[in-house]
């Protein structure tokens, strides 16, 4: 049998990852089996296991790709940053909510698996650091009051976004506006330099 090209192998790997993502969104990570992924991808069991010897390997690869896709934040003004955070809350498209629900499922899987836990923690630290770097740049331009603790603020914004997502997924809040007041309060602190207790 001729050796498969690297391009062919990458295409097959991507095919499997896309099938897994569809199933993770539809059934959830925990409820999706490797057999389900084989059927959804249209590939044989052997082909899928050639690329991913276990479901854990597939989840880890998915988590690593999601982490690599996180973009850094950069805004010219505090008002632009505020608008970005509010738009994430208020304009959560179905696609955006699905991506966040996958992030939350990965965190849940991390409760059962140390490698996934480490990757999930790294992803959250990356989000916090992205916010912190954005705030640092705004602080240096005089957009944020120097008395404001950007380290605490960066963590607060990430916590707010995860909380809002969980509320939306569980339909626990009336609407996404439930958390917009919290975001507004945090941005008011940035401007006024109110102390945030650690």
Instruction: Give 4's contacts (C-beta < 8 A, 6+ positions apart).
Output: 12
Q: Is residue 33's pLDDT more than 90?
A: yes
Buried b (16+ CB within 10 A) or exposed e, 151-167: ebbbbbbbebbbebbeb
Average pLDDT, the chain: 84
**CA-based angle 68:69:72, to the nearest 5?**
95
Q: Is the pTM of this model over 0.85?
A: no
**144 has a pLDDT exceeding 90:** yes
Please report the domains of the chain, with CATH numbers, ordered by start residue.
6-53 (1.10.10.60), 67-192 (1.10.357.10)
Distance CA 7, CA 172 (A): 45
Q: Average pLDDT in the 162-175 region?
A: 71
């Amino acid at each position: 049998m001729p050796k498969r090209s690297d391009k062919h192998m990458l295409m097959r790997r991507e095919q499997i990852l896309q099938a897994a993502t569809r199933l993770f969104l539809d059934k959830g990570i925990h409820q999706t089996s490797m057999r389900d992924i084989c059927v959804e991808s249209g590939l044989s069991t052997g082909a899928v296991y050639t690329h991913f010897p276990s479901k854990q390997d597939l989840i880890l690869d998915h988590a690593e790709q999601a982490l690599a896709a996180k973009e850094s934040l950069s805004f010219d003004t505090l008002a632009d940053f505020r608008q970005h955070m509010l738009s994430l809350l208020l304009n959560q498209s179905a696609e955006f909510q699905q991506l966040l629900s996958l992030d939350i499922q990965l965190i849940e899987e991390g409760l059962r698996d140390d490698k996934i836990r480490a990757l999930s923690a790294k992803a959250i630290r990356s989000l916090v650091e992205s916010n912190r770097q954005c705030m640092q740049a705004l602080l240096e331009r005089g957009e944020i009051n120097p008395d404001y603790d950007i380290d605490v603020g960066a963590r607060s914004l990430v916590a707010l976004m995860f909380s809002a997502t969980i509320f939306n997924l569980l339909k626990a809040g009336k609407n996404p506006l439930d958390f917009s007041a919290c975001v507004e309060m945090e941005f008011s602190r940035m401007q006024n330099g109110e102390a945030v207790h650690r």
